[in-house]
Every structure is written in structure tokens, then in C-alpha cells.
Structure 1
Amino acid sequence: MQLSREVMLEKFSDMAKNTLLETLQIELVDFGDDFLILKMPVTSKVHQPDGVLHGGATVALAETTGSFAAELLLDTKQFFVRGIEISANHVKSVRTGNVFAKATFIHKGRTTQLFEIKVTDDSDNLISLCKLTTISLPRTK
């Protein structure tokens, strides 16, 4: 079942409070049945010392995007999601503007999910190509 934009924005906003997402100013941009897009501003907060986007900030954005997409599949009262592996190939640097991470499913399993996450800049140039594996685990009482 597709959630409304308002419900998704509220869910994401609640999840982001007092977390790395808030610190990095990561925002929900768009979503659909098979994708999710988040945005992060490229400012000095996420720069390497030489003034370009830090790869670790890029990976944090990518993992957040894939993990939130995986959560949309689950009954979060019974299960929670954890990233178990992420890889990133950084192909271009960026100094200013925004970066966008678009997660699309490669595999939607009951226990594991596999995502391709493309991180692009404001001009839709590929900045990084990431792959994330998540696992869905039962909540214990």
C-alpha cells in the first residue's frame, strides 16, 4: 500500500529528529513503489578538509536512503532494518549545491534487501554509485 506524501514526510521527519539525518540536513524528496530519493546540502559541514564532499557523508546519505526504503516494506511494529553491507564508488567530486540519493531495489526478500543507490548532483551528474544490503530482524519484547 502506497503511503500518502504527508504521511511519508511526517514519518521521515519523526525518524530524523536528534539523529545524524538532522545533523546532515537530509530531507525526503520523492518516493514511489520502487524508489526513494533523499537530498543533502553540500556545505562545509560535509566537506573534506580540501573543500569537496566527504565520501563518508555520501555513504551516510546512501545508507539512510536504502534503509528507509527497506523500512517501507515492513511492519515496523514487528521488524526493524539494519544495514549489513555497503559499498561505494565515488566517481566525481562536488563542492556546493545539493546531492540526491535515489535508492532502487535490486532484490526484495523477506529477510534481506539489496539496493542500488545513485548519488547525483544538482545537474544530475553521477557523484557516487553505491550498493546496500539490509536485513530485516524481528523485534523482541
Structure 2
Amino acid sequence: MDELLHNTLMEHLGMQVVEATPDKVVMTMPVDSRTHQPMGLLHGGASVALAESAASLGSLLNVNTDEKTAVGLEINANHIRSAREGIVTAVATPVHRGATTMVWDIRITNERNQLVCISRCTVAIIARKPTR
């Protein structure tokens, strides 16, 4: 999994894959200067990036990657609680696994297992284009 994150936004923000199966993806992200907004709180966009990353990875694990790939189509998020430091953990589970779209529920919690963000992400399943 580490090679998937190399030279990406996920690597830059310090995300790590803890668990990755077709039924569940768990990823972590530090709350630090890379993920803060100007007031020193976890940036909502960083939470959304974590949520979409987990949903996209889960979608990839549900398709034949020789023929298909997964790309984010729509995401929403409700930011429930702020965080200033530590690690947040995203747990993504599928709500719908179709041939052309997948929908994932993502819950992000802090180190005390308190809900920080809840998100739903729709992922498009598209044909993989040949690499040049």
C-alpha cells in the first residue's frame, strides 16, 4: 500500500493505511502543521481528503484494476468536533458497490474514539486508460 501513497497528497499529509479490505478501509492522519487551518485546528479539507482517500482505496479493492479504476465523483462531510493535535482515524465501509459507482460511509474519530467528521463519498468506476 505504501507505494500507492508515494509522491501523493496522501503521503504529504502523513496518511497511513492501517487496514485495507474490500469491506473496510482504515487510514490514519496526523493533526499537525500539515493538516491545520490558520487557527491551529484540523482543516476540514484535510478531513475530506482523508475520507475520499479511504473510499477510493476501498473502491479499488473491489474492482479488477487491470481493467478499471476508481475516481471520486462526489463527497460531503459534516465536521462534528475539532482537533488540534494527535492522530485521526478514518473507517470507510461500503454502502453500495455497483458496476459504475460505489458509495462509502466514512467516520473519522480522534484518539479518544470521539467522532470528528462523518462523510459520504460516491466513487465512479471507470475504464483504466493505457499508460504511455
TM-score (norm. length: structure 2): 0.95
Q: Which residue of 1 aligns with 2:119?
A: 130
Q: Which residue of 2 aligns with 1:116?
A: 105
Q: CA deviation at 1:29?
A: 1.0
Quick check: 31-40 or 97-106, which moved more?
31-40
The secondary structure found in structure 2 opposite 1:44 is: coil
Q: CA deviation at 1:33?
A: 4.6
Aligned length: 130
Segments of structure 1 that go 5 or more residues without pairing to the other structure are 1-11
C-alpha RMSD of the superposition:
1.0
Quick one: distance in 1 between partners of 2:7 and 2:122? 25
Quick one: distance in 2 between partners of 1:31 and 1:80? 16
Structure 1 stretches (4+) deviating beyond 3 angstroms? none
Q: Which residue of 2 aligns with 1:42?
A: 31
1:21-42 CA distance string (max 9 Å, x none): 1100100112345211000011
Question: What percent identity do the matched residue pairs reach?
Answer: 38
Q: CA deviation at 1:140?
A: 3.4
Q: Does structure 1 residue 52 correspond to structure 2 residue 64?
A: no
Q: Which residue of 1 aligns with 2:67?
A: 78
Q: Does structure 1 residue 16 correspond to structure 2 residue 1?
A: no
| Aligned pair partner of 1:65 in 38, 50, 54 | 54
Quick one: distance in 1 between partners of 2:116 and 2:129? 39
Quick one: distance in 1 between partners of 2:127 and 2:110? 36
TM-score (norm. length: structure 1): 0.89
Segments of structure 2 that go 5 or more residues without pairing to the other structure are none
Q: CA deviation at 1:60?
A: 0.3
- Higher relative helix content: 1
- Higher relative strand content: 2
Quick one: distance in 2 between partners of 1:78 and 1:54? 35
Quick one: distance in 1 between partners of 2:40 and 2:52? 23
Quick one: distance in 2 between partners of 1:21 and 1:62? 11
The secondary structure found in structure 1 opposite 2:73 is: strand
| Aligned pair partner of 1:107 in 89, 93, 96 | 96
Q: Conserved in 1, the CA contact under 8 Å of 2:16 and 2:27?
A: yes
Which amino acid in 2 is paired with 1:92?
A: R
